[in-house]
Amino acid sequence: MAKNGQISSSVIKRLPRYYRFLGELKKQGVERISSRELSDMMKLTASQIRQDLNCFGGFGQQGYGYHVDMLHSEIGNILGVDRQFKTIVIGAGNLGRAIATHINFDTRGCELIGIFDRDPALTGMKVGKLEIMHTDELEQFCRKQKPVVAVLCIPKAATQEIADKLVGLGLRSFWNFSHYDLSIDHEDIIVENVHLGDSLLTLTYGTNVLASSEDAKK
């Protein structure tokens, strides 16, 4: 198996989607699938799929296709879904609470162990199984529990400072929802910036193209 560092970032971006589709097939009891069938489902070309999956060993067999369960678990291993990296949420407002309760961290390699907010009015409130802690407790908590992943659901202005503090406390991965393009000036830090608004704009672009071509036909 190739190490993640040897797989191109565009292939890595597609792995969660392969993992999700293969997981659905597995649930349906499908044992094997050809690259053609997988390509129809995923709207990728069969050759793209073969190229992608070849990057980490090509688990397909000529005339047999891919063994769904095996490929699903191999991709899961590459993604690290069984690792249970300790994870905390910073910011227990609307978004932080929604993420803490609606995202299934366990099946994605993370274990949610804490949620923090600087607003004392929120301290002690339940979010799922967790109680919101005040950010004054953050340092002691991190030194003891050693989380490595932080989900940032705080306002833009607070983001860099909190991120720097968390890096100092040993956190290495940031799932950043704040509207601040986090670039941490530290080595070995992973940041995944998420902007739902950017995704909506991509949809708006597509809608605009469609609407313009319909207007042109009138």
Beta-carbon contacts of 50 under 8 Å, excluding residues fewer than 6 positions away, are 35, 58, 60
Count of CB atoms situated within 10 Å of the CB of 133: 19
Which residue from 25, 153, 163, 166 is in contact with ligand NAI, where contact means CB under 6 A? 153
In the chain, alpha helices (H): 9-27, 35-42, 46-54, 68-79, 94-102, 138-145, 156-168, 196-217
CA 91 vs. chain centroid, Å, equals 18
Q: Which residue is closest to ligand NAI by CB?
A: 93
Nearer to ligand NAI by C-beta: 41 or 158? 158
Min. distance of Cβ 154 from ligand NAI in angstroms? Answer: 4
Question: Which window, 6-14, 19-27, 75-83, 84-92, contacts ligand NAI (CB under 6 A)?
Answer: 84-92
Contact set for ligand NAI, span 110-139 (CB under 6 A): 116-119, 135
165 binding ligand NAI? (CB under 6 A):
no
Min. distance of Cβ 88 from ligand NAI in angstroms? Answer: 11
d(CA 49, CA 47): 5
Q: Tell me if residue 175 falls in helix, strand or coil.
A: strand
167 binding ligand NAI? (CB under 6 A):
no
Contact set for ligand NAI, span 171-210 (CB under 6 A): 177-179, 194-197
In 80-188, alpha helices (H): 94-102, 138-145, 156-168
d(CA 159, CA 7): 30
Count of CB atoms situated within 10 Å of the CB of 79: 17
Contact set for ligand NAI, span 92-111 (CB under 6 A): 92-96
From residue 12 to residue 51, the character string flagging contacts with ligand NAI as x (rule: CB under 6 A) and all else as - is ----------------------------------------
Contacting residues toward ligand NAI, per CB under 6 A: 90-96, 116-119, 135, 153-156, 158, 162, 177-179, 194-197
